[in-house]
Amino acid sequence: MHVSKGLTALLATILTTGVVSASPVDSDTGADLAKRTPGNIYVCKALNWGSTCAVISVGTNTCTTLPSTWKNQIGSFGPDTGATCYAYTGTTCSGTMWTFSYPGDATGGWATSSPWQNNIASIYCDTTGGGPPSGGGGGGGTSHTSIATYYYPNGGLGSCGWAIQNSDFAVALNPTDAAGGAHCGQTATVTCAHSTYSHF
């Protein structure tokens, strides 16, 4: 019985001490947490938010070339809320372009015809709604205005010979613009009712 009373007293002391030591941080100490703002990206080197991960600050509305420790080594990409981020194969926000918004993508793009894992060299995060920088995503190209249509490919082959899933962003071109497959795997930027889609 004495052991039981002694153990009860010891547990009461431990629990009381634990509660007392878990006091909140005093805001006057300067240890406040700051809310992250657009222009930060949570990245990991592996798919599914695995391996080495970090928060990279790239700023907003400016092109940022990734440091060598992350250039062409990203497998999971998660921008903060409030920005749409465009990732490029080229170091000056040029070349193939992929579009990311919160919460991001941890698949490396492997379910698409243009995987982005280990292919990102520069990033542009837009907070204005203006879309990617001019000249990004392949350095411009031809602009067309037309009526968009859609269908469900259900895994059927597109004109480039790749299976297209209903969840893929894909664009079909008329035979003249398709130029015999010259644009297969390239990126197109589509703007519709103030929304821009660039992952095709």
- Classify residue 168: in a domain, yes or no: no
145-198 confidence digits (pLDDT tens): 566 677 788 888 877 777 888 887 777 777 777 777 777 777 666 666 555 555
**pLDDT, mean of residues 114-119:** 90
Residue 161 lies in a domain: no
Does a structural domain hold residue 156?
Answer: no
Per the domain annotation, does 147 fall within a domain? no
Does the residue 179 lie in any domain? no
Give per-residue burial for 23-42: e unless 16+ CB within 10 Å, then b: eeeeeeeeeeeeeeebbbbb
DSSP string, the chain: -HHHHHHHHHHHHHHHHHHHHTPPPPGGGT-PPPPP-TTEEEEESSGGG-SSEEEEE--SSSEEEPPTTTTT--SEEEEPTT-EEEEESSTTS-SSEEEE-TT-B-STTTTSSS--TT---EEEEESSS--SPTTHHHH--------------TT-B-TTS-B--TTS------HHHHGGGTTTT----EEETTEEE---
88: containing domain: 40-129
Least confident of 7-16, 125-134, 141-150: 7-16
Q: Is residue 71 in a domain?
A: yes
pLDDT interval class at 130 (50, 70, 90): confident
Domain containing 83 — which CATH number? 2.60.20.10
* Domains contained in the chain, number: 1
Query: pLDDT, tens digit, for every residue of 58-90?
Result: 888 889 999 999 999 999 999 999 899 999 999
In a domain, 63, yes or no: yes
Using alpha carbons only, give the angle 180, 184, 189 rounded to the nearest 5 degrees. Answer: 120
When pLDDT is averaged across residues 126-152 and rounded to a whole number, the result is 66
pLDDT of res. 178? 72
In-domain check, residue 177: no
Q: What is the pTM of this model?
A: 0.54
Task: Please give the mean pLDDT across all residues of the chain.
Answer: 75
Q: Could you tell me which residue, 190 or 4, shows the higher pLDDT?
A: 190
